[in-house]
Structure 1
Amino acid sequence: MDRRGSYISSQLIVINDKLQLLYDEIGISEDERNTRERNLYSAVSHALEQQVEEVTAEKESLYRSCHDLREQLTTMMAALQDVQDLDLSCGVGGDMEIKFPLMSAFESLTKKHEELKGLYSQRYQKAHELFENLRMFSTAMEGLDFESDIFALNPDTLSLTNTNIAALEAEVRRLSEEYERRVRIVQADANQIVSLWAQLGTSQHNIDRNILACYKDKPEMLGLTNAHLEKLSAKKNILQEEKDSRLRRLSATKAAVQHLWSKLSEDEAAVKSFDRANRGIALHVIEAYEQELARLNEKKRDHMHIFIEDARQTLQRLWDSLYFSEDEMLEFTPAWTDIFTDASLAAHESEIARLEQLLQERKPTLALIDAYRELQEDIVELEQSQQDASRLLSRGPGRRDPSRLLREEQMRKRIAKRKPKIMNDLMTTLRKWENENGRPFMVNGERFLDILREEEVAAKVTIYCLDGLMTV
């Protein structure tokens, strides 16, 4: 028996001896003594058992506290895998069982818990804030593809390593940039929509009040999901298409009106007044121009000869540019009659459109012909200059031009250099054109390729020297 057991036993003997003496002195019967002793022993036994229960409860409570600390430490250490020098050996055995005495284990575990709690709480709070941001972005922008698997994890069991925190931060930054990008898109589209409403003169009942209320200061309230963006973009595109349609309609009408104003010599003050009163692309502006065009067309019928004469001048410029012969010009008979009707004007305009298309098609070939003709003019000018003997004499106070011979030499060299190339390019182009079109290329009624061949047979390339004409 240990010291504490001997002490309790001796105390019980002393107390019992005192009780027996008192019983004797009192004269208590044997049966009464037995009853009182049983009650006493029962009370002592109950007190001891109660004490055992209290101490047992204390032990279990302390054990549970140690167990909870150990679980928390295990969670924190698992989350803080990148933290060096983490050790859970204090207060527990190698098999993770809590070691006795429990008070020492509790103190050791509490100390380790305090050491990790600050860092863990800091990272845990950071992770939760990042998760909340991710959820906010996910809700605001629906249907996003997340680059990281971290979002699928439970933040309460998430590893709180710096790598994972950094991954969360990177994902939040990416989504934040996407959020800002969508805000900019929504604001730009909403701004354009409001601007288009103003330009198109949209009526109040056709204006979306929500867009009008949010487009300046809180565009995100218009929605940032793909569906919201697509809906807003579609609304903008419809308005833009309407604007483009009106611009085309107004541009064509306005051009026709301005042409008729000029041709009919309309009052300048009235024209300016009309123009000032009809700005923009609202429907009433377009309708005003269309009404003005109808008025001018009616007036044009009374002055048809002006428009037909103008069309004939345009025809003449095109004929000259295309080097048409007189017979080719006479083929368009409406230009040579005294008929001034709508039908005649329409025929003139149709012929002008045909010749403009023809001019565009022949443009490369005509450019070479123009260069050839300019070169021929230079040759004639040089020949005339060389035939002027006075250029070598000193006459009058002005005396002779000392740079004239130099200019002639420079022109002669330029002609000698350019003519072979122009002739070659022109003949190649003409042959190709005739092969593709199946007919000769005519200039003023003559096949131009024949003219070039005649010149080539006669002289090839002619240059002029100081002594006169020399053929090579």
Structure 2
Amino acid sequence: MDRRGSYISSQLTVINDKLQLLYDEIGISEDERNTRERNLYSAVSHALEHQVEEVTAEKENLFKSCQDLREQLLTMMAALQDVQDISLSCQAGGDLEIKPPLMTAFETLSNKHQELKGLYSQRYQKAHELFDSLRMLSTAIEGPDIDSNSFLSLSPDTLSLTDTNLAALEAEVARLSEEYKHRVRIVQEDANQIVTLWAQLGTSQHNIDRNILAYYKDRPEMLGLTNAHLEKLSAKKNSLQDEKESRLSRLSATKAAVQYLWAKLSEDEAAIKAFDRANRGIALHVIEAYEQENARLNEKKRDHMQIFIEDARHTLHRLWDNLYFSEDEMLEFTPAWTDIFTDASLAAHESEIARLEQLLQERKPTLALIGAYRELQQDIVELEQSQQDASRLMSRGPGRRDPSRLLREEQMRKRIAKRKPKLINDLMTALRKWEKENGRPFMVNGERFLDILHEEEAAAKVRIIILLYTEWLTILIKLNLVIEIAKNSCTPNSGFRISLGVYCKANCR
């Protein structure tokens, strides 16, 4: 028997002896004494069992606390698996096994728990804040382009709190933050444009969204940042922009017609300025005012129809000149040659002007080449006339001689020689292409321009041959004259020699 058992046994013996003595002195019967002894033994046994139960519960509680600490430690170590020292202590359970004595195990586990708690709490709090931000941003933005489901299905309790995972979570929050800011900017820009368009269009109060006015400056995010919100706001902006463009087009056409009629009908300048000041912008009442003014001027126009028809005829003549129309082509439009001044006549003139402007636009590239060719031909004529002027070399006295004239002639000759072949080739190519596409000759002043071009080129070649022949003949004549003079140079006549010197200087090159 160990010391603790011997002590209890001796104590029980002492107590029993005292009780027996007391029982003897009292004179308690044997049966009563047996009953009291059984009650005593039962109480002692119950007290001992109660103590055993309490200690057993204490042991179980301590074991449960150890288990809880161990579970928390394993959770923290799993979450902090990128920390090298922790990973090493976790191998095969390490010193995390729960074995007697339990107080020592509890103390060991508590110490390890305290070591990890700081780092784990720091990372856990950071992850918690990041998840809160992620959910807030995802809820605010929510759209098919927001791919955060893989993170939103987790939590700080289920996510491994490694630096890598936290960095990925931070990156996702940063990405959504940028998307959030981007959408805020889009909403604010669209809302600003909407408010501006409302002002420009003169939108009535009951057609203005009060929420946009309340939040567009300082809290645009309150207007919503989801795809649906953005699309709705963009659609409103586009609708207003389309309305603005429609009104601008409508007003521009009406305003141009009114200004044209003001000028033609010599309206009062002060009245025009007053009308213009009173009707600024693109509100509906401004457009309606211009349309009413246009209607009034058109009524007045009917009383002065001749002015407008004469103006249209001037435009027709300008277009005929630009298109190189022949007289027969001009006479084809008979309304231009009658004394009829009606709405129908003006409409016919305007229709013909529109047709000719379209024709001018279609022929513009070819007409530009024809214009360049004619300018080049004029330069050639001017050069030939300049070369045939013999006095340009013999002018004397200040203000009469032009020393740079020969240089300019040479520069012009080189420019013509360089430009002419390419211009003629481009022009012929353009004319042939036009005739092929339209199935008719390209006419200039009633003649097919390709034929004119061929004739002018042929005439130019003939002129060159004649010019070369003339220059060659002139040189022969001058040479013969010089020979004759040289034969008579032996005559002792100083006056004759002086005359010969002057002649050679003036005529021989």
Q: Which amino acid aligns with 1:323?
A: Y
Pairing 1:410-429 to 2, within 5 Å after superposition: 410-429=411-430
Which whole-Å CA distance do the structure 2 matches of 1:9 and 1:326 have between them?
A: 152
Pairing 1:26-425 to 2, within 5 Å after superposition: 26-86=26-86, 97-144=97-144, 145-147=146-148, 149-425=150-426
Q: CA deviation at 1:70?
A: 0.9
Q: Is the 8 A contact 2:131 2:152 kept in 1?
A: yes
Q: Could you tell which deviates more after superposition, 350-359 or 228-237?
A: 228-237
TM-aligned CA distance change 1:310 to 1:452, over 3 Å: same
Q: Is the 8 A contact 1:130 1:168 kept in 2?
A: yes
TM-aligned CA distance change 1:241 to 1:89, over 3 Å: closer
Q: CA deviation at 1:87?
A: 6.2
Pairing 1:443-462 to 2, within 5 Å after superposition: 443-460=444-461
Q: Is the 8 A contact 1:200 1:283 kept in 2?
A: yes
Q: Is the 8 A contact 2:81 2:87 kept in 1?
A: no
TM-aligned CA distance change 1:434 to 1:214, over 3 Å: same
Q: Is the 8 A contact 2:201 2:282 kept in 1?
A: yes
Which whole-Å CA distance do the structure 2 matches of 1:470 and 1:82 have between them?
A: 103
Q: CA deviation at 1:148?
A: 5.9
Q: Is the 8 A contact 2:201 2:284 kept in 1?
A: yes
Q: Could you tell which deviates more after superposition, 280-289 or 176-185?
A: 176-185
Q: Is the 8 A contact 1:416 1:463 kept in 2?
A: no
Q: Is the 8 A contact 2:89 2:95 kept in 1?
A: no
Q: Is the 8 A contact 1:63 1:102 kept in 2?
A: yes
Q: Deviations over 1:121-141 (max 9, x none)?
A: 111111111111122122222
Q: CA deviation at 1:191?
A: 1.4
Q: CA deviation at 1:3?
A: 1.8
Q: CA RMSD, aligned part only?
A: 2.4
Q: Is the 8 A contact 1:187 1:215 kept in 2?
A: yes
TM-aligned CA distance change 1:206 to 1:6, over 3 Å: same
Which whole-Å CA distance do the structure 1 matches of 2:138 and 2:120 have between them?
A: 26
TM-aligned CA distance change 1:352 to 1:74, over 3 Å: same
Q: Is the 8 A contact 2:309 2:341 kept in 1?
A: yes
Q: Which amino acid aligns with 2:352?
A: E
Q: Which amino acid aligns with 2:205?
A: Q
Q: Deviations over 1:331-356 (max 9, x none)?
A: 11111111111111111111111111
Which whole-Å CA distance do the structure 2 matches of 1:374 and 1:15 have between them?
A: 148
TM-aligned CA distance change 1:165 to 1:463, over 3 Å: farther
Q: Which amino acid aligns with 1:106?
A: F
Give TM-score, length-normalised by structure 2: 0.87
Q: CA deviation at 1:427?
A: 1.8
TM-aligned CA distance change 1:189 to 1:179, over 3 Å: same
Which whole-Å CA distance do the structure 1 matches of 2:423 and 2:393 have between them?
A: 32
Q: CA deviation at 1:381?
A: 0.8
Q: CA deviation at 1:399?
A: 4.3
TM-aligned CA distance change 1:21 to 1:141, over 3 Å: same
Structure of larger gyration radius: 2
Percent identity, aligned pairs only, is 85
Q: Is the 8 A contact 2:194 2:237 kept in 1?
A: yes
Q: CA deviation at 1:463?
A: 6.7
For residue 106 of structure 1, give the secondary structure of its aligned residue in structure 2: helix
Matched positions, count: 470
Q: CA deviation at 1:443?
A: 1.1
Q: Could you tell which deviates more after superposition, 441-450 or 39-48?
A: 39-48
TM-aligned CA distance change 1:462 to 1:124, over 3 Å: farther
Q: CA deviation at 1:33?
A: 2.8
Q: CA deviation at 1:27?
A: 4.1
For residue 86 of structure 2, give the secondary structure of its aligned residue in structure 1: coil
Q: Is the 8 A contact 2:67 2:98 kept in 1?
A: yes
Q: Is the 8 A contact 2:82 2:162 kept in 1?
A: yes
Q: CA deviation at 1:294?
A: 0.7
Which whole-Å CA distance do the structure 2 matches of 1:93 and 1:381 have between them?
A: 111
Q: Is the 8 A contact 2:254 2:290 kept in 1?
A: yes
Which whole-Å CA distance do the structure 2 matches of 1:462 and 1:104 have between them?
A: 127
Q: Which amino acid aligns with 1:438?
A: G
Q: Which amino acid aligns with 1:108?
A: T
Q: Is the 8 A contact 2:302 2:343 kept in 1?
A: yes
Which whole-Å CA distance do the structure 2 matches of 1:462 and 1:27 have between them?
A: 177
**Are residues 1:12 and 2:16 paired?**
no
For residue 159 of structure 2, give the secondary structure of its aligned residue in structure 1: coil
Q: Is the 8 A contact 1:141 1:226 kept in 2?
A: yes
Give TM-score, length-normalised by structure 1: 0.94
TM-aligned CA distance change 1:87 to 1:61, over 3 Å: farther
